[in-house]
Structures are given as C-alpha cells and as structure tokens.
Structure 1
Amino acid sequence: MASTPAPSTPPAGSPLDPAVAARLRRNAEGLFPAVAQQYDTGEVLMLGWMDDEALHRTLTTGRCTYWSRSRGEYWVKGDTSGHVQHVRAVALDCDGDTVLVQVDQVGAACHTGERTCFDADRLPLGQ
C-alpha cells in the first residue's frame, strides 16, 4: 500500500470503540484493508476496504460491511448477491493496519461468482 498511514485518531463522531479506533492505522483516505477468511478452513476469500464506520457496522451487526472505493458508499456483503458473510471473529494485525475478518461465507465471495477472489490466476514460482 503506497498511501501514508493517517493519524491513529478516529474521525470525529466515530461510533467505533475508542480503544479499537486508537489502534488503527489508516491510509490517506481513512481506509484500511480487511481480509475475509473462511473461519473453519482458513481459506482466504477476498480483500475489501473498511473505515471506522464499516468496522463498527461489521462488529455490531455480524455481517461484513465494506467501503466501496469505486462507488463511494458502504456495502454489506450479500445484500445484492445473497452471498452473505456471517462474522465469526475479527482480529487486528500487529501493526494495526489490517483487519482479519473470519466469516462463514454463504455462496461465492468473489464478484465473478467464484468461491474466492484468489482462485483464477496462480502465478508461476521459481522464475
């Protein structure tokens, strides 16, 4: 990620627990990556972007909420597709710049209809 982390202070009026918000390192746009992982198999499903509000919604509703950078709005995974992510656990990494959301994925996680966003293009090793 090329962006410089934003200050670790939450935006004004953030509903996120202040202790959690203080640990987050955000990029210049106030976002941080969220890796979705199938809770029981460890399968990495997708990467989305969150801000304080998206993380708050994810923690309080039990459904993954992301910030769409292309549409400029929040989206709850599965509201349109029916491919829901039920949250089982959320962890912040050691640097505070990424969250791991362990989910029970219903249907495809990828917008292409694949189970995971990482199925299609395996890169060659050893070259």
Structure 2
Amino acid sequence: MNIDFKKSNGLVPVIAQEFGTNEVLMLGYMNKEAFDLTIETKIVHYFSRSKNRIWKKGEESGHIQKLIDLIVDCDEDTLLAIVEQVGNTACHTGAKSCFYRSYFEGNE
C-alpha cells in the first residue's frame, strides 16, 4: 500500500480517533517524514502547516498520541489514526477533542 503524498503538496489529512470510544479528537496533516516517524515510534507525528515543521503531538504538553492502528482510505490519500490519547486532552485549548462546538448553536 502506498500513501499518496503527491495530491496535496506532499501532505495527507489525518483524523485522530480515540481507541475504545471512537471519539474524533482532531484533524492534522502528515508529510512522508512525519508518517515514517509515526510508524517507527508508534507515537503520532504531524506536519505543522503554520510552523512549517514536523511536531510530535504532545511534545510540549506531554499529551502524546500512542498509535494503535492506522487506517488508509480507499484513495490512499487520507489516514485515520486510532490512538490512545495520553492525558485525555488532544486540543491545544485544553479540551479533550478539537471538535467541541456546534456550528448551529449560536449561529441560528
């Protein structure tokens, strides 16, 4: 299986989902180097588009994501990372998930 890093300027979207609860935690991006580091270490690494560098999730907070499984979509250009979220916090805001606000609440 070959991940298609060529479609989107060398990046593929990665959805992080919590093992056991199936809760969606966050969306990030990986380049080939971040992908290889993730496979090698079993700790999820992303490519930060704002910092233009690879970062290990939780490198500052300690809230790392231990890789349980990596699921590839049908087009081989999107990944679903099944993770154990250390510290019960994936979002930089301190929330467990980056998806904690409804668009429709407050926008009606």
The two structures share one fold, judged by TM-score above 0.5 = yes
Q: Which stretches in structure 1 are left out of the alignment for 5+ residues?
A: 1-18
Aligned to 1:99: 79
Shift of 1:25: 4.9
Q: TM-score with structure 1 length normalisation?
A: 0.76
4+ residue runs of structure 1 moved beyond 3 angstroms? 25-28
CA-to-partner distance for each residue in 1:49-73, whole Å, 9 max, x for gaps? 1011111111110100000000011
Aligned to 1:9: none
Aligned to 1:60: 40
- Report the CA distance shift for 1:28/1:20 in structure 2 as closer, same or farther (over 3 A): closer
**Quick one: which of 93, 96, 105 aligns to 1:112?**
93
SS in 1 for 2:15: strand
Within a 5 Å distance, the mapping from 1:37-56 to structure 2 comes to 37-56=17-36
Aligned length: 105
Structure-1 separation of matches of 2:81 and 2:54: 17
Aligned to 2:52: 72
CA-to-partner distance for each residue in 1:29-64, whole Å, 9 max, x for gaps? 210100000011100000001011111111110100
Q: TM-score with structure 2 length normalisation?
A: 0.89
Structure-2 separation of matches of 1:92 and 1:28: 16
Return the index of the structure with the highest Cα Rg.
1
Structure-1 separation of matches of 2:43 and 2:65: 6
Q: Which stretches in structure 2 are left out of the alignment for 5+ residues?
A: none
Indicate the percent of aligned positions where both proteins have the same amino acid. 43
Structure 1 or 2: larger strand share?
A: 2
Give the counterpart letter for 1:54 in structure 2.
A
